[in-house]
């Protein structure tokens, strides 16, 4: 194990100056790894600003409605709790604790994401500030969601987390991750390396809500490995301004009849630069994937919408990509980049739809004729456009997302 850790460290060191393939390049020297906080006994012990930020990022305050809760504030794990009823069904630890408990997590540590992918993965490997480890035991169906909040409370913090989720054979779980900063934080950096492992016949439904500040930079790096009959569902929501965000989760369908569904809602505001996508790799017979994205570019924002479907099996497999965007401002920009790659896969069926355009003026006039103002009509149409089905979304989380969406759509009305 020590040899492997040394090898990972050397690979990370070789990539400390390696720019990412996409997204604006960030000067990492602007940000520091500090922000130590003491553990708390209950979420009520957090400051009002911290509780409000967590709530707006989808974190349930009533813990009786959850199976477990993990809270990280800047560089510190301040709260981790599994509800008593779920003690025999799942584990919830910081990744540092999991590394010590499981002798370095050799099956999972840097197995789904390359440690030398770019300077952001390298920074996490060399300067990690915790992250969460969730493991659902074989055959367990966890009825209530597990939630994790990664919160930034100080300016110019570099939060470098490494998360691992393992859903053992035949198990099922929903995970809600809320990543956010409190009011008053103007600038910072969040790098989240996440590795998910969905075992044979298991199901992971993962909801990620991002709610950052206008000058915040965000670099998630996610890899998912799905075994035979496994199902991975990913719902991502960003409806607040951000300095820049660049992410493109890679899902590897390695087991027969495994499936992946990725749903993305992104709203660009102010001068946000958002480069977001997904990559589904079909590696086995009867695998299936779907990626759906809805994006709105307002103000002077720029959105790059990437999607890649890769067929790497000579057996039957099928995947579909649906990417649509609305330009609300003459200063905004959307670039849609769908890719299909049939790599020696004669029986792979890969398809895509992509469309970018303005809001239909006839629809606006129709609503105005029924008493809405022009701004109200635009907000109504935009809300309908972004209202895609997010499978498995808890009702409480849906209400929170709707609340943030309403505030976004009605700003300035």
Write out pLDDT tens, residues 137-185. Answer: 999 999 999 999 999 999 999 999 999 999 999 999 999 999 999 999 9
User: Confidence class of residue 410 from pLDDT cuts 50, 70 and 90?
Assistant: low
Domain boundary residue, one of 317, 338, 360 = 360
Residue 30: the pLDDT is 95
What would the pLDDT profile of 214-257 be if each residue is shown by its tens digit?
999 999 999 999 999 999 999 999 989 999 999 999 999 999 99
Top-confidence residue, 69 or 379: 69
Q: Is the pLDDT of residue 16 over 50?
A: yes
Query: Residue 50's domain spans which residues?
Result: 2-360
**pLDDT tier, 1 (very low <50, low <70, confident <90, very high otherwise):** low
The mean pLDDT of the chain is: 93
**pLDDT classification of 202: cutoffs 50, 70, 90:** very high
Same domain, 67 and 157: yes
Predicted confidence at residue 295, as pLDDT, reads 93
Please check whether residues 8 and 103 belong to one and the same domain: yes
Same domain for 373 and 349, yes or no, is no
Co-location of 265 and 371 in the same domain = no
State whether residue 171 is helix, strand or coil. Answer: coil
Please indicate, yes or no, whether residues 304 and 413 belong to a single structural domain of this protein.
Answer: no
Q: Is residue 367 located within the same domain as residue 356? A: no
How far is Cα 124 from Cα 115, in angstroms, rounded to an integer?
9
Question: Is the pLDDT assigned to residue 367 strictly greater than 70?
Answer: yes
Domain boundary among 316, 341, 360: 360
Residue 272 confidence (pLDDT): 97
Q: Are 228 and 256 in contact (CB under 8 A)?
A: yes
Q: Where are the alpha helices (DSSP H) in 348-390?
A: 361-368, 374-386
% of the chain at pLDDT higher than 90: 82
For 320-338, what is each residue's pLDDT tens digit?
999 999 999 999 999 999 9
Co-location of 356 and 366 in the same domain:
no
Is the four-CA dihedral 20, 21, 23, 24 of positive or negative sign?
A: positive
Residues 264 and 411 both lie in one domain: no
| Domain stop point among 317, 339, 360 | 360
150/148 Cα distance (integer angstroms)? 7
Q: How confident is the model at residue 284 (pLDDT cuts 50, 70, 90)?
A: very high
How many folded domains does the chain comprise?
A: 2
| Claim to verify: residue 372 and residue 225 sit in the same structural domain | no
Do 266 and 402 belong together in one domain? no
Which CA distances in Å does 260 have to 110, 148, 175, 288, 294?
Answer: 21, 22, 16, 7, 18
The verdict on 367 and 327 lying in the same domain is: no
Looking at the predicted structure, is the pLDDT value of residue 390 above 90? no
Length of the chain equals 413
Longest dimension (CA), the chain: 71
Residues 294 and 375 in one domain: no
Average pLDDT of the residues in 62-77: 96
């Amino acid at each position: 194990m020590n040899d492997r850790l040394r090898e990972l460290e050397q690979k990370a060191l070789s990539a400390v100056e390696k720019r990412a393939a996409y997204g604006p390049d960030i000067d990492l020297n602007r940000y520091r790894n500090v922000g130590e906080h003491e553990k708390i006994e209950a979420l009520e012990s957090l400051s009002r600003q911290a509780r409000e930020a967590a709530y707006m990022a989808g974190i349930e305050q009533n813990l009786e409605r959850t199976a477990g809760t993990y809270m990280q504030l800047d560089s510190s794990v301040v709260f981790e709790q599994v509800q008593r009823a779920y003690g025999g069904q799942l584990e919830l630890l910081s990744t540092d604790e999991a590394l010590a408990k499981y002798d370095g997590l050799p099956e999972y540590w840097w197995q789904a994401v390359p440690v030398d992918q770019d300077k952001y993965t390298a920074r996490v490997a060399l300067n990690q500030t915790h992250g969460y480890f969730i493991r659902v035991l074989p055959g367990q169906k966890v009825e209530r969601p597990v939630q994790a909040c990664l919160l930034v409370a100080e300016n110019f913090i570099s939060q470098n987390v490494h998360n691992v989720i393992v859903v053992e054979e035949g198990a099922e779980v929903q995970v809600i991750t809320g990543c956010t900063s409190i009011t008053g934080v103007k600038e910072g950096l969040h790098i989240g390396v996440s590795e998910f492992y969905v075992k044979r016949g298991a199901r992971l439904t993962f909801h990620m809500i991002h709610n950052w500040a206008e000058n915040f930079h965000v670099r998630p790096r996610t890899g998912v490995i799905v075994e035979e009959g496994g199902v991975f569902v990913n719902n991502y929501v960003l409806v607040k301004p951000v300095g820049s965000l660049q992410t493109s989760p890679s899902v590897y369908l390695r087991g027969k009849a495994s499936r992946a569904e990725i749903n993305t809602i992104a709203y660009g505001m102010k001068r946000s630069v958002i480069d977001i996508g997904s990559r589904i790799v079909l590696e086995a017979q009867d695998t299936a994937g779907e990626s759906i994205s809805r994006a709105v570019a307002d103000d002077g924002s720029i959105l790059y919408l990437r999607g890649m479907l890769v067929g790497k099996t000579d057996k039957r497999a099928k995947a579909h990509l649906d990417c649509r965007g609305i330009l609300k401002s003459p200063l905004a920009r959307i670039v849609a980049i769908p890719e299909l790659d049939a790599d020696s896969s004669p029986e792979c069926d890969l398809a895509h739809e992509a469309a970018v355009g303005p809001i239909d003026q006839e629809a606006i006039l129709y609503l105005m004729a029924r008493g809405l103002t022009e701004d109200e009509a635009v907000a109504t149409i935009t809300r309908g456009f972004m209202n895609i089905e997010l499978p498995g979304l808890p009702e409480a989380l849906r209400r929170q997302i709707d609340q943030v969406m309403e505030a976004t759509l009605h700003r300035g009305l």
